[in-house]
């Protein structure tokens, strides 16, 4: 079999949605770009394997995640539209946000100007305040979980670690340790229970610090050393922080959750109030969760299940295919790479034969300590060292869009996003010989 995959000759339909490229994937789910064929609207669809979910006893956790997202209807929170199921998969249809992660702005600029950081922080507080009013605590707030739409509006995503008010015990506290170490509140580390409201506020403070400084307030290679700093709130603000910004951050990063600033107090803070715009939206009181229960019901009758079906596409040549897809955009094809700016996924064009592309990727990955597993036109790269969020793993795939033109996609499937950025910077330098140069000399990857 050829090492490259032809541009697809069929399209996959799920209900009224036509599936497109993969936006991301992890241990339990894959996220695909999709289009509503009735309205033309773009969405993202999270696809879960039913058997996988059952085997790992994650049904209740995932139902909880979806229910939380349906409860929260806010302009700064990712929307969930509907849930569907086939015999083998669960499909969660969510808002497609095309402006990338807030993390990418930090990776590109190092740090944001204070006014820009304040605008994003105001939107974050608006979202968190609304979530708390609905009894929802995020518990894993960090820049990677904050997306931007094409207008630069912040959207909170990834409720996989959220807690619902029903998870609170008789002492009024949450007891499940979770979150990303650098952003986690000190009270979570003590295992004595914590208030979800106060812990989310702490994480918002760390995010504000990162936006303005370009680096973390608490960052140690040794996990115990990191925990000690967090427990004592040992940090210092860089000199470019304004006096009022420092004052607010110190009140947020208070290691005592009982004296830590609250959201009503943040809303009255002098620094926070500058240029503040309250969110404008209509609250929906009635939330229908019937589709969630139906999707996870093992006794579903056939008529309630949808099917994946293949359909022949409209006839198009390779360059029409490229121009219709965001990943294969001609604008991106000739756009010069901004050094160091790589998201969780990236792609590049090559005019080399597929076997040469595969060999070059393997040649570039192995010296960096990556094990390579090949299967036809796909490769899995897995780091042999464990980073701050486990081993870094990358999926690659080669597509043939014309006899002399290939597209190579790379996606982070495990590990830390910042480590992926660092890996890619070195890795891409080993691919220069196979990357297609446009007429003006600009190169991919992008």
> CA torsion sign, 179 to 181 to 185 to 191?
positive
Residue 342's closest CA among 397, 432, 420? 420
> CA torsion sign, 255 to 127 to 343 to 392?
positive
| Long-range Cβ contact pairs of 296-303 (< 8 A, separation 24 or more) | 296/59, 296/62, 296/63, 296/85, 296/90, 300/85
- DSSP H helices in 114-185: 114-133
Residue positions annotated with a catalytic role:
140
> What is the distance between the alpha carbons of residues 133 and 165, in angstroms, rounded to a whole number?
10
Is there a contact between 394 and 420 (Cβ–Cβ < 8 Å)? yes
DSSP strand pairing (154-156 vs 11-14): unpaired
- What percent helix, strand, coil does the chain show, rounded to 5? 35, 25, 40
Contacts of 242 (CB under 8 A, 6+ apart): 114, 271
Residue numbers in the known binding site for ATP are: 46
Question: Token pair for residue 442?
Answer: 């600009």
Other Cβ atoms closer than 10 A to 2: 12
Is there a contact between 179 and 158 (Cβ–Cβ < 8 Å)? no
144: phi > 0 → left, psi -120 to 50 → alpha, else beta; which? alpha
> What is the distance between the alpha carbons of residues 35 and 50, in angstroms, rounded to a whole number?
23
- DSSP H helices in 96-173: 102-109, 114-133
Please state the φ and ψ torsions of residue 189, each to the nearest 5 degrees. Answer: -75, -15
DSSP strand pairing (5-6 vs 390-402): parallel
Residue numbers in the known binding site are: 46
> What is the distance between the alpha carbons of residues 160 and 28, in angstroms, rounded to a whole number?
11
Angle at the Cα of 245 from the Cα atoms of 183 and 117, rounded to 5 degrees: 65
């Amino acid at each position: 079999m050829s090492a490259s995959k032809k541009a697809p000759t069929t399209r996959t339909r799920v209900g009224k949605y036509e599936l497109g490229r993969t936006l991301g994937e992890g241990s339990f789910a894959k996220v695909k770009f999709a289009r509503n064929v009735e309205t033309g609207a773009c969405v993202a669809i999270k696809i879960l394997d039913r058997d996988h979910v059952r085997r790992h006893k994650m049904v209740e956790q995932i139902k909880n995640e979806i229910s939380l997202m349906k409860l929260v209807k806010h302009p700064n929170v990712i929307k969930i539209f509907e849930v569907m199921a086939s015999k083998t998969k669960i499909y969660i249809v969510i808002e497609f946000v095309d402006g990338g992660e807030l993390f990418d702005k930090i990776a590109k600029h190092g740090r944001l100007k204070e006014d820009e950081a304040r605008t994003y922080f105001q939107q974050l507080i608006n979202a968190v305040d609304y979530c708390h009013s609905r009894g929802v605590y995020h518990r894993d707030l960090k820049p990677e979980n904050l997306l931007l739409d094409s207008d630069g509006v912040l959207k909170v995503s990834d409720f996989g670690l959220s807690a619902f008010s029903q998870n609170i015990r008789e002492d009024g506290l949450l007891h499940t340790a979770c979150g990303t170490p650098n952003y986690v509140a000190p009270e979570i580390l003590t295992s004595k229970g914590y208030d979800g409201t106060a812990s989310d506020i702490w994480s918002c403070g760390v995010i504000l610090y990162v936006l303005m400084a370009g680096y973390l307030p608490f960052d140690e290679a040794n996990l115990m050393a990191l925990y000690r700093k967090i427990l004592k709130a040992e940090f210092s603000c860089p000199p470019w922080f304004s006096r009022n910004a420092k004052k607010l951050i110190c009140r947020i990063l208070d290691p005592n959750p009982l004296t830590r600033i609250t959201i009503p107090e943040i809303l009255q803070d002098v620094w926070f109030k500058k240029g503040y715009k309250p969110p404008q939206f209509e609250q929906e009181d009635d939330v229908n969760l019937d589709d969630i229960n139906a999707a996870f019901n093992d006794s579903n009758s056939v008529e309630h299940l949808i099917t994946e079906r293949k359909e022949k596409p409209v006839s198009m040549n390779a360059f029409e295919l490229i121009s219709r897809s965001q990943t294969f955009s001609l604008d991106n094809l000739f756009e010069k790479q901004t050094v160091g700016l790589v998201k969780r996924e990236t792609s590049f064009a090559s005019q080399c034969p597929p076997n040469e592309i595969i060999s070059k990727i393997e040649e570039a990955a192995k010296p960096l300590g990556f094990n390579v597993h090949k299967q036809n036109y796909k490769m899995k790269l897995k780091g042999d060292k464990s980073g701050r969020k486990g081993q870094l793993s990358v999926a690659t795939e080669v597509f043939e869009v014309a006899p002399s033109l290939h597209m190579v996609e790379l996606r982070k499937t495990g590990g830390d996003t910042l480590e992926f950025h660092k890996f890619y910077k070195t890795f891409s330098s080993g691919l220069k010989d196979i990357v297609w140069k446009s007429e003006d000399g600009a190169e991919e990857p992008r």
